[in-house]
Every structure is written in C-alpha cells, then in structure tokens.
Amino acid sequence: MDEIEYVWSVLGGDAALTARVARAARPEVLEARLPVRALASACVGACALAAAELAARRAASGGVPAVRVDDGAVAAAFTSERHLRIGGREPVSFAPLSRLWRTADGWVRTHANYPHHRARLLAALGLARDTEDARAVDAVGSLLAGLPARSVEETVYAAGGAAVALRTPEEWAASEQGRAVAGRPLVERGVLDASPARTFAPVPPSAGALLPAAGLRVLDLTRVIAGPVATRTLALLGADVLRVDPPGLPELPDQHVDTGFGKRSATLDLTCDQAAFEELLGAADVVVTGYRPGSLDRFGLSPRALAARRPGLVVARLSAWGAYGPWAGRRGFDSLVQVGTGIAALEGTADRPGALPAQALDHGTGYLLAAGVLRALTEQSRHGGSRYVEVALARTAAWLSAGPAPDGASGAGRPHGVGGPSTMGTGSGAHRVCAAGDAGGPGDAGEAGGPGASPWLRERESPLGRLRYALPPVRFEGGPTDWERAPGPWGADAARWV
C-alpha cells in the first residue's frame, strides 16, 4: 500500500479511484531524513481526489476527473509563507522569542508569535511583559540555561504559554500522550445522527472551472496554519468561506494574508453575540474549528451540540496534540509538535535539534482535514447523517515518523507510516539543522520550495497591495487553478452570509 492509497483508505474512499491519480515526482524538493515529500504529495493527492470525486458526484458526469500531483507545486504550497511577498516585503514568520533554547539538561522550544503568548512566557519566567525583544532574548536565554527542560515546559504551560521540551522518538512513544496518539486513526470520521441525505444541485463549470464546493457555506473558526489551509482549499473549490475571529484577538497580519485567499474575514464575540453566531450556523453546511479541544464547548460548539442545532452539518476539528490523552487541552503549534514527538531529534545532530524543511505537519494536516470534509459531503449525498472529521498535528507526526525511508521505497505492509523499511540515519543527509530562531530553514522564496519553485508562484493586486504567492497544489481535470478572491484586511467583512 503506497502513501496515497493509505490516506485514501483512511478517508473511506473507493480504492479503485486511486488509479485516477498521477504524480510528477521531483526528488530535489523538501529534502529531509524523514519522507516529507511523500507525506506532502499523499495529503495533497488525497485532497484533490476527494475534490474530483465530489465534482463528479455533483456534475452527474459518471466519471471522476483525473488528478495530477506535482511535487514542485506541493513543495511551493507547503512553504507558502516563505514565498509570500506583500508589496515586495518579505513577511515575518517567527518572533524573536519563538525559538529553540538550550536548557540545563537539553532543549526546549517556545512559541511566542502572538502577543498574549509572548506575555505569558515572560510572566512565567518572572520577566516584565514589556521587556524589549533583544533584552528579552538575552534574559530568557540566561534563565533557561539553568533550568531543566521539562520544568520549563510545565511552568510555561501552567501560565497559559506555549513551550515543549525536546524528546526523542522513543521518549515520545513511551509517554502517555504518545501512546494515546499512536492508537488513533490518521483521520477520525463518524456519523452524528440520521439526518436525510444531502441533495446537491448540479454544478456546471463556472468561468471554465468545475467547483465541487460551489453553493456550500463554510464557517471557519480556525487560526494559525493548518485549519486556515483547509478552509483556504475549500474556498478554492467554490465554497463561501467566512472566517470568524474574536475581536480582541487579531490574527498575525502576514499569516492572515497567506491563508486568507478565497475567504471573507469577520469578527464576532461569542460571549455576547451568540444570536449572531446562531444565525450563521443556521445557514452553514460545514463548521471547521481549530481551537484547543474543549475550549469552545462552553459556547455549544462540540460536534454533537452543533449537529443538534443544525442537522446535516459537517463538523471538522483540528488540534495540535489530539482531543484525548493528558495533553488534549494543551496549546501546540507545528514547531512544538516537531520537538515534542521526536521529529526535531531525528532531523538534527548530536549537538543540536533540527527541523523539517517546511511546516509540513501544519500543511499536511490542513489538506487531510479538507479531504475529510469533501469525503463527508460525498458520503452525505449517498447515506445522509450529520458528520464529523477530526485530525491532529501529533497524529500526522506519528504517521511521518513511523516509517522513515527515502522516497521511492515501498510502503507495503506499513499502514501507519510514510515510506517503507526504516533507513534511519542512512538517507541522503540533506536534512538541515535549524538556527536558533528558525523553524524550518532559510526564508528565501527562491529556495524555500527547492529548485524550480517559480512556476508555482503568481502575482496579483489585492486590497493589501501587490501579492506574490504560491498557487494551490490541489488540481484535477477541469478544476480551478487559482482562487477567485484575494485576501482582504482582517475582520473587515460583515459577519453574515452573502
């Protein structure tokens, strides 16, 4: 079973349809010790096949369009934040306090891109929240050098911040959270009720492209990268995607641009605007959430609670560590999950942890989530039922780590890992050790996706200035090749459906 077949089987797809997928392999991109390129292409390929399947269902054409996955397009998309230019300006990916730190007994990774996480990190360490960045870096480095890594992890987490101690793959596998993650499917899917089958109106080609999600309304309650990548993909496929954020918690500006293509952006305070949210929910087809498990439950946003109020809904949920185990409620980001699950140790050296050549857990999990939504919609049209889809960065990490091998190795008999027999430490050696503030290598757009990235980039005008950006990698015969809508200012749209 190769990677695309494995992902498609986890999504419940007809195995025969994988014959519709062709891959243009480019060994020079996304080089690493772990098979990042194989994971990335499998996630994108499964998503494209799910889109093609739904397109055929809605067009009543009888045949699923052919899918083509090009590793060059995939690599550019998986490093989209590094290719982005806004009015010629290179975006900021990581804040000064988001980095690896040496501790008394190892390493710890912090994430402080958001102002509130920065403030909590400094407060946890007894430093003033308004400490200037350069002084803060020196002070934090001095403090952490004398503390045990696991102690830092617990102290910062208890203060509401984000920090994870470096673990080896063996240490992660032996942990209670590691065991919980390993026991779950890559994509969790289920039926919540016995709602009638979804009836789709046939969708003719629009502007020359077949849009399988046309007419569907997606309520986007996600942040950072993975969730917004999923909803950005649904927007590409024709969905009306409305991203809703709390008014006092803005998204990082450059991150908003990168993942905002095809969407509208609004703000809504769920503590006092519940009626407005219920109005949005009442006309939604899909709700996607990316906050910590349980953090939205007080607003009635668990899958069952949502489906009870809006029968026929598809609820898609993303988390960092999984909605189970002792870390279910912990904050997490791609860089932290790489450190916690042993990936940083695998990609590093004896002297320093490393990193993947892209934030592949974020991007890969985003395409898995979009694929799960598309398959749920197809299955609804056949069998009915409100449905849920759940994914976790840590579960994607487990899949990547379970079977490290060079691309091209057989994956037969390894249903839980990307690649085939383990060749740990004997690969190409093309992995890169990350610098102190780096989560995945140099930020030069000409290098980020590897040689030949430029064919997968495009420029256009937007309300935010002229943008250079990575084109979407999800392609099928007759489908869209770019987003119809450029991103606009964060929170500038009305919290209502068009």
Q: Which residues are catalytic?
A: 362
H/E stretch holding 244: strand 240-245
Which SS3 state, helix, strand or coil, does residue 26 take?
Answer: coil
DSSP labels for 260-309?
-TTEEEEE--TTT-HHHHHHHHHT-SEEEE-SPTTTTGGGT-SHHHHHHH
**First-to-last CA distance in the chain?**
44
Residue whose C-alpha is closest to residue 447's, from 70, 34, 82: 82
H/E stretch holding 432: strand 432-433
User: Contact 244/469 with Cβ under 8 angstroms?
Assistant: no
456 - beta bridge partners? none
Q: What is the Cα–Cα distance from 458 to 94, expressed in whole angstroms?
A: 24
Q: What is the Cα–Cα distance from 310 to 308, expressed in whole angstroms?
A: 6
Which token pair is 83?
Answer: 């290719």
Which token pair is 439?
Answer: 């989560």
User: Contact 219/264 with Cβ under 8 angstroms?
Assistant: no
